[in-house]
Amino acid sequence: DASGVYDHPGDSSTANRDQGFQFYGTSIADDDGVYAFRTVRPGYYEPRPKHIHVKVKLDGATVLTTQFYFDEDRADLANEGLFAQAGDLGELLILKPVDSIDVNGTSPAVLTNDLVINTGGSGSLTATPAQGEGPYYPVVVVANFDNDLATVP
């Protein structure tokens, strides 16, 4: 959540989590491969920089597990071991600001990133680097959740 608390039985701070935040979500890409999520900007938890965990599935099989990081947190990424594993491809894991929109007097950020999956074809795009899923997975069936993480059903 925005305070850096995970909704996980192994997190000692779980009782303090934001009860208005869904934590998990599923989005199905359209015919053009476009997907979207509405969420809150995660908070820091030591020692990790702010990040969002991502899994991509194709025909029910996981084809990518990775994490996205925030453009304004580049200084925090300099010493982040998991991010460093991506090497020169780390740039592919950075969410980029696109636009800001005003909704009810607030200005949520609109961020974007492409996910490129290696399906064994002969394409010339560089695949998004994989990253470990960390100690917090799997604890839920994310298919039971929609793509609006900021509103609890």
pLDDT of the residue at 135: 54
Which pLDDT score, from 0 to 100, does residue 6 have?
80
Nearest-CA neighbor of 55 among 26, 83, 94, 16? 26
Q: How far is CA 7 from CA 35, 91, 98, in A?
A: 24, 28, 29
**Measured between alpha carbons, how far is residue 73 from residues 76, 90, 94, 126, 129 in Å?**
5, 13, 9, 23, 19
**How far apart are alpha carbons 153 and 65 in whole angstroms?**
26
Residue ranges covered by each domain of the chain: 14-144
- Looking at residue 151, its pLDDT comes to 67
Tens of pLDDT, residue by residue over 56-112, are 888 888 888 899 999 889 999 988 888 999 999 999 999 988 876 655 556 677 888
The pTM assigned to this predicted structure is 0.81
146: β partners = none
| Predicted pLDDT at 140 | 63
Neighbours of 54 (CB within 10 A): 18
At residue 100, the pLDDT reads 65
